[in-house]
A and B are shown apart, each in its own frame.
Chain A
Amino acid sequence: MNDNHSDDGLGRREFLVGGAVIVVAACAGGQARREGTGPSAPGEPMEITLLVNGERRALRVDPRTTLLDLLRENLGLTGTKKGCDMGQCGACTVLADGVRIDSCLALAAQYDGRSITTIEGLIKDGTLHPAQEAFLQEDAFQCGYCTPGQILSCIGFLHEGGGATEMEIREGMSGNICRCGAYPNIVSAVRSLRGRA
């Protein structure tokens, strides 16, 4: 029934996470190459290090791996969602060095040495981030699938100094699609954060 679990009782995701931990141990101590990298052969795995939610993660990845797939499949951080996987829906929004980006159109290798913040990294000492609180307060979601991306996008928008009118918020949040149509409350949540985030 549950195709997420293999016969030995180990879930696909748990297996992948386990694999990632082993890889991290094997690569620990290897410095990320920040500047140029030499030529390699197509498909040759490469070592990269990312600071994910404040934690240093060293990984050996196929160069094709997108940042989104790396977060979800290699690191088990499934809070970042895969929607369209082509840069149109914003469900995969994360912060790279504080700037909101679509992680589905980013090769993980490009973010070697950089800092990535996902929805899992917003909670601090058991306290929700103000943007998370605002989304709860304003009931700014229905099914919740787009919500992590909406919240990260909201934080990026406020950081960019986005405007406070409804039109400015709608335009500023236009890279995040909500198929449930929770937009009015999303606008309210973003507006409630103006001046304090």
Chain B
Amino acid sequence: MRQIAYQRAGSVDEAVQAAAQPEAAFLAGGTSLVDLMKLEVLNPARVVDVTRLDLSRIEPRADGIRLGATATNSAVAAHPEVKRRFPALSQALLSGASPQLRNVATVAGNLMQRTRCAYYRDLATRCNKRSPGAGCDAIEGWTRMHAILGGSEQCIALHPSDMCVALAALEATIHVRGQRGERDIPFGDFHLLPGDHPEREFALEPGELVTWVFVPATAAAARSRYVKVRDRISYAFALASCATALEVANGRIEVARIALGGVGTKPWRSLEAERMLVGATPRAETFRRAADVALRDARPRRDNAFKVELAKRTMIRALTLSAEGA
């Protein structure tokens, strides 16, 4: 790890000011950042610790729930209102990482989680995300754990988060504060596609701090489900995962929300598949057609063609569970 200056922010304003300096990074649970600093993949000269700011509250409201940026993954997953009104969120969090990591990993840290692309993490290889313009050794390399949706000729790094898949389906909003004030970012706009600039990963201005995430309460959200398929039964990243939320009335789907994990360069919401389901009867053939649509643009590489069918089956399974609950 390179040398750093450590600063513990005493207030949100102080944190925002400190992080607006060049080469500064916010530090919360450290489970991503400290790991990547040790590997010298991320090399901030200054880390601004935000864990002692008053940002860890979980506040249920009539119209939804506000998750403080530094609320831990454990706290959010175990919160009775999260379990009752947003089950997919709790399920997604509990399916990720290990208890030790979830005890310190935060909401905002999970939003900012970096890819697990082995090439990104290895300084001996070329990576456009790590060193813009350097080239990408993943595209022609070992691609079993790479994205099949949302990739570009510069980057096919997979987005690793479980929580973000649930928040994408639940249509969360991300509230940030920067030097120019506060603003809300719709979840779908927060993570950027790699395109020609895979080094740009988030729709954040320098120094902008995530302060909370708002998740709106809906009838569909209360029946949301998260299904994750991985190489072993616990403590592994998704090969494919899916968060679904359905509202069914008189045998017809009225609301459908679908997001996929383990397949995209960002948490992958499928608006097309959602539109297809509205008005339809919730049954296996319908779900299969929606899954075909969701994966229509999939572009598998040498080692990950299996993800196309696996993601479809995972989505059908999640939709089936949501329909049973609806």
A contact residues vs B (CB 8 Å cutoff) = 33-44, 46, 62-64, 66, 85-87, 90, 93, 99-102, 105-107, 109-110, 112, 153, 156-157, 160, 170-172, 174-176
Option from A43, A46, A64, A100 in Cβ contact (under 8 Å) with B99: A100
The reply to whether B6 and A100 contact each other, CB–CB distance below 8 Å, is no
- Using Cβ atoms and an 8 Å threshold, which residues of chain B touch A105? 29-31, 34-35, 101, 104
- Using Cβ atoms and an 8 Å threshold, which residues of chain A touch B284? none
The reply to whether B10 and A171 contact each other, CB–CB distance below 8 Å, is no
The reply to whether A102 and B7 contact each other, CB–CB distance below 8 Å, is no
Could you say which of B44-52, B171-179, B291-299 contacts chain A?
B44-52
The reply to whether B38 and A40 contact each other, CB–CB distance below 8 Å, is no
**A-contact 0/1 string along B10-44, CB 8 Å cutoff:** 11001000100000000101110011011000000
**A-contacting residues, B51-70, CB 8 Å:** 51-52
The reply to whether B14 and A42 contact each other, CB–CB distance below 8 Å, is no
Chain B residue nearest in CB terms to A46: B6
**A-contact 0/1 string along B246-279, CB 8 Å cutoff:** 0000000000000000000000000000000000
Chain B residue nearest in CB terms to A172: B99
State the Cβ distance, B117 to closest chain A Cβ, in Å. 15
Chain B residue nearest in CB terms to A35: B10
State the Cβ distance, B289 to closest chain A Cβ, in Å. 35
The reply to whether B5 and A43 contact each other, CB–CB distance below 8 Å, is yes
- Using Cβ atoms and an 8 Å threshold, which residues of chain B touch A64? 1-4, 37
Chain A residue nearest in CB terms to B21: A39
- Using Cβ atoms and an 8 Å threshold, which residues of chain A touch B1? 64
- Using Cβ atoms and an 8 Å threshold, which residues of chain B touch A107? 6, 27, 30, 34, 47, 49
State the Cβ distance, B239 to closest chain A Cβ, in Å. 17
A63 CA / B31 CA spacing, docked (Å): 16
The reply to whether B5 and A175 contact each other, CB–CB distance below 8 Å, is no
Option from B2, B7, B49, B100 in Cβ contact (under 8 Å) with A153: B100
State the Cβ distance, A113 to closest chain B Cβ, in Å. 9
